[in-house]
Homo-oligomer: A and B are copies of this chain.
Amino acid sequence: MNPAKRIGIKDIAEKAGVSAGTVDRVLHQRGDVKAETRTKVMAIVEELNYKPNIFARSLAYKKERRIVLISPDSRDKNPYWEKATIGVERAGISLEDHNTAISQIHFDASQKDSFVQAINQALELEPDGLVIDPVFKDVIQEKAAVFREQQIPFVFFDANIKGVGKLAYFGQDAAQSGQVAARLMRNALADDEKVLIIKLSKDKVFSQHINSRITGFIAALNTPKSDVEVWEMSLCEWETRREEIADMLRRKPYPGIFVPNTRVYKVARFLEDYQLEKKLLIGYDLIDENIAALKSGGIDFLISQRPEEQTYNAIMSLFNYIISKQEVQKTRLSPIDIIVKENIDYYC
């Protein structure tokens, strides 16, 4: 593909009439170099379009690098975070040969203090880079100053906060995913068929993500308000008021049901238990319960957000930045995958 041999640091040194060491110094702005030499070397680097051999680089660079990832703990067995962890592990393996270690620090997503502590802990590890799920905006705004001061590059994943100097954000466009769900509804339902949105969570606390999905969904559905209804309940209510809910659905059935989070399998089971009719049930995330329900026909579509890929890419990009200082694309949204029974095996 390239007949000419790849040009290396030595070629540059020679052409510039300096030593390899000096070229290295200008390349990494390490130590002092006469301005004149610097510009000269830079010019030649540009001219020859020098690309470092990152393998030689990793081989030679002996200091261990450390990337620290800060994320909510998954003590509540949230499968989303389990998937995310797999991505972290994969990245760890990829980076082993690069002498780079990944540490994970978890916090309790309902306790701001816990988040602050996690960040402090991370800083004590003297990381070369941070990967953060920035759950608390004000904390981040404060700590970002420290990161900048200590020259620690950081990326966000899962959630995004603007204007604090992040290197990049890896996540999904929640509103857009709601629009995808709406499209699937519209293709399947007649214009006058009613749609129900069921918001289910542990304590009736709903993240920004979930609300954005709903906003996107309703906007794209493009249907009179009266045809969309939103139910909001805690998991506990859902369990205790089953009869009552079944009754409501029997009296007023909804051909389309949209559950804007992982809990959709609960709805699927419920509908089955009570033999309730539906035309289309759409939910989120490829967790085992949902996969099973999709395969059995209880769920019709799942939308996937690729948590594994998000953490993997976040870490790898940060690493690339650390070793090459090359700019990174600010926003990296992962695809909104549409999953049905027939293609699910390719996404697990």
* Cβ-closest chain B residue relative to A55: B55
Across the interface, do A340 and B184 meet the contact criterion of CB distance under 8 Å?
yes
- Whether the pair A101, B2 counts as a contact (CB closer than 8 A) is yes
| A103 neighbours in B (Cβ, 8 Å) | 1
Number of interface residues of A (CB under 8 A): 43
User: Is A160's CB within 8 Å of the partner chain B?
Assistant: no
What are the interface flags for A333-348 relative to B under an 8 Å C-beta threshold, 1 for contact and 0 otherwise?
1111111111100110
Q: Which of B179, B220, B343 contacts A338 (CB 8 A)?
A: B343
Most chain-B CB neighbours within 10 Å: which of A2, A182, A339, A346? Answer: A346
- Cα A187 to Cα B343 in complex, Å, equals 15
A59 at the interface (CB under 8 A from B): yes
Contact A300/B342 with A55-B97, A101-B1 known, Cβ cut-off 8 Å: no
Within 8 A of B (CB), among A131-189: 176-177, 179-180, 182-184, 187-188
Q: Is the CB of A1 within 8 A of B59?
A: no
CA distance A103 to B2 in the complex (A): 10
Q: Is the CB of A97 within 8 A of B180?
A: no
A342 touches B102 (CB 8 A): no
Give Cα A55 to B103, complex, Å.
Answer: 23
Q: A residues bordering B, Cβ < 8 Å?
A: 1-2, 6, 51, 53-56, 58-59, 92, 96-98, 101-103, 176-177, 179-180, 182-184, 187-188, 220, 280, 300-301, 333-343, 346-347
| Complex A-B: 12 CB contacts under 8 Å | A1-B102, A53-B59, A56-B59, A177-B343, A180-B340, A183-B341, A187-B188, A187-B280, A335-B343, A336-B342, A336-B343, A337-B338
